[in-house]
Amino acid sequence: MFNFEKTDVWQKAIDFADVIYNETRPFAQEERFGLTIQLRRAAVSISSNIAKGSSRSSKNDFAPFAEIPAGSVFEIVSQAFIARRQTFWVRNSFGKSMPMPTN
């Protein structure tokens, strides 16, 4: 087992990727190469960059790899707003309706 696998943040990132995959599964077929793949790639990027950064020898070397996952989270937030506005994403993983974003 690698050190990053023992961290809560990496484990939560893996869980989050599972949620994104499950939530995007019912998206419209025409979105398979649009929002679906964008959301999934950003979700996978979070845990991947945490793992990649853990191989660095110092905290200073790790710092850029901590910023990249944060950027991926912001990507997902933006993409989720679009998915919701396009009515691809109407329920969340807890079975509750998602609120419609307001302008």
Residue environment code for 30-60, b if the CB has 16+ CB neighbours within 10 A, otherwise e: ebeebbbebbbebbbbbbbbbbbbbeeeeee
* Mean pLDDT of all residues belonging to the chain: 84
Mean pLDDT along residues 47-63: 81
pLDDT in tens, 75-92: 999 999 999 899 887 765
Distance between CA atoms of residues 93 and 81, nearest Å: 16
Residue 94 confidence (pLDDT) above 70: no
Q: What is the DSSP letter of 15?
A: H
Which domains are assigned to the chain? 32-90 (1.20.1440.60)
